[in-house]
Structure 1
């Protein structure tokens, strides 16, 4: 295995205002098919639904919802939502971004999504809509029992960028995300950056891609058994598998990637490592080493076809705020 540790200084989390990942919101032309897939096959619960919009919760998560589906003429990533501890932190975050010249979509204020709360939206450097919120009501959730192959929570979101170094710099500088690890190859250079906003190895990752798009959204399962049961359920149902099952080196988490009905890559995972942020130093992992991509050696090989599926379609929502 080829690995290099970056002797970077320990990150200062003193001014970090983002606490965690809340939800990912998707616009889809095939709304009914997607709704059925995410509820009946993937294992999310329709917490709140309306005409052409659904808020889907993970049973083990206190978040009001982990996925929002919206009926639309074009497929797009509507937004990615992150939490803050207090309304004062939301205000400080908005002020920080505004002072740095980041384009705000909305000013901080009361939210009318499930759980209410206080938040605002802005465009990141690639034109994605990002939401920051606090004081969202806690959803009544429960412990996922042994053998239940449904998501506990939304684990992380990975995004494609044609200028990933700039995108990584944006999240480090403006949102105080910290770099956990980086993937590279001798032929392609650096291709993926894993970023954290709490001790979880990553809640966001940025991949080098040909255009701005969602790379994948990942959902945490209770454990290895539940992860494998969920993987097997989708395989038996004929859902198209992209890659897996296996275990990554960076993050040490398991992976099984599938395509939803409109071609978004989604993942079942478990056992994402929790870091000691005071002592952690980022690594450079050479993903041309098969053990880096899959420690178990059980997944289908990472090749151009697998990579191309995760490029996804070009996002039609760049610098266009979602209507809701």
Structure 2
């Protein structure tokens, strides 16, 4: 396993055909702030986060996941990681260097084992952010991203070997075997999870709210605005976090969450939870039951961007 050089999740970048509709959703009812826009590409920040942006939207002919971006502690760590990946046979898209995008920084891009574009960067300028107030039901920060993979263990091993992720917990069922691995790069229970799916694609992107009241208020706002609620509100056992899942205008699943578990990494041992038990999916018992239709929503469309680097 590689030494841990990654520090946190920075942003998730999406490409969509109906750019205006997608931008209206994220900068409107979802509660992000548009901080920059230039010819069919926009950068959306969470008001409580020092990250320059947490979502990037790009107008494109085909829907795809453009990239997932992680922070590193220093430019030296970026260089070290690039050298390790090259030595490990990982295909680099770019060499470490100055990043010419909103907030700048120093970083590079590469393909993961499933062909997703991953970016790692350091020295990105911090954004002026603020404390989210009581009853202010907008995202504080990006919480985590979940990725579908047709070969769950192969993808898990790749992230452990090359990027220093550690396994926190696993979901399994008697009929399907292992269906999800929760992976961490800090004491946060997961900044990424890997889900068993028929193809490589985005499972969901999760946004942290200030607290339970704000989480419920935000969920209610999105429901009242007429967007499809897929699952929730409820509280998972793995990670102990709340969840309400919605579909954005292009069928990507997005989540409001709060209170994701922080672990003592020195003493933590991964659990295998039986996902067929109702209290594993939802401790509260308030969410609509998980079924095949809900699961299929999260499979998403086949990602057309695998092993094809985004143009920007």
CA distance in 2, matches of 1:153, 1:113: 20
Alpha-carbon shift at residue 114 of structure 1 (Å): 1.1
Q: Look up the match of 2:180.
A: 192
Aligned CA-pair RMSD: 0.8
Alpha-carbon shift at residue 237 of structure 1 (Å): 1.2
| Equivalent of 1:242 in 205, 230, 252 | 230
Q: Counterparts of 1:142-157 in structure 2 under 5 Å?
A: 142-157=130-145
Q: Does 2:151 align with 1:163?
A: yes
Q: Does 2:275 align with 1:287?
A: yes
CA distance in 2, matches of 1:166, 1:89: 25
CA distance in 2, matches of 1:149, 1:55: 20
Normalising to structure 2: TM-score of the pair? Answer: 0.99
Q: Look up the match of 2:78.
A: 90
Q: Does 2:64 align with 1:76?
A: yes
Q: Look up the match of 1:5.
A: none
Q: Does 2:167 align with 1:176?
A: no
Alpha-carbon shift at residue 92 of structure 1 (Å): 0.2
Q: Does 2:44 align with 1:61?
A: no
* SS of match in other structure, 1:285: strand
Alpha-carbon shift at residue 164 of structure 1 (Å): 1.1
Q: Does 2:107 align with 1:119?
A: yes
CA distance in 1, matches of 2:6, 2:43: 22
Alpha-carbon shift at residue 238 of structure 1 (Å): 1.1
CA distance in 2, matches of 1:194, 1:179: 6
> Any gaps of 5 or more consecutive residues in structure 1?
1-11
* SS of match in other structure, 2:132: coil
4+ residue runs of structure 1 moved beyond 2 angstroms? none
* SS of match in other structure, 1:27: strand
Alpha-carbon shift at residue 24 of structure 1 (Å): 0.1
Q: Look up the match of 2:310.
A: 322
Q: Does 2:302 align with 1:311?
A: no
CA distance in 2, matches of 1:40, 1:119: 31
CA distance in 1, matches of 2:36, 2:260: 29
| Equivalent of 2:213 in 210, 219, 225 | 225
Q: Does 2:40 align with 1:40?
A: no
> Any gaps of 5 or more consecutive residues in structure 2?
none
CA distance in 2, matches of 1:219, 1:79: 17
Alpha-carbon shift at residue 193 of structure 1 (Å): 0.1
CA distance in 2, matches of 1:203, 1:50: 29
* SS of match in other structure, 1:174: helix
* SS of match in other structure, 1:107: coil
CA distance in 2, matches of 1:84, 1:269: 24
Normalising to structure 1: TM-score of the pair? Answer: 0.96
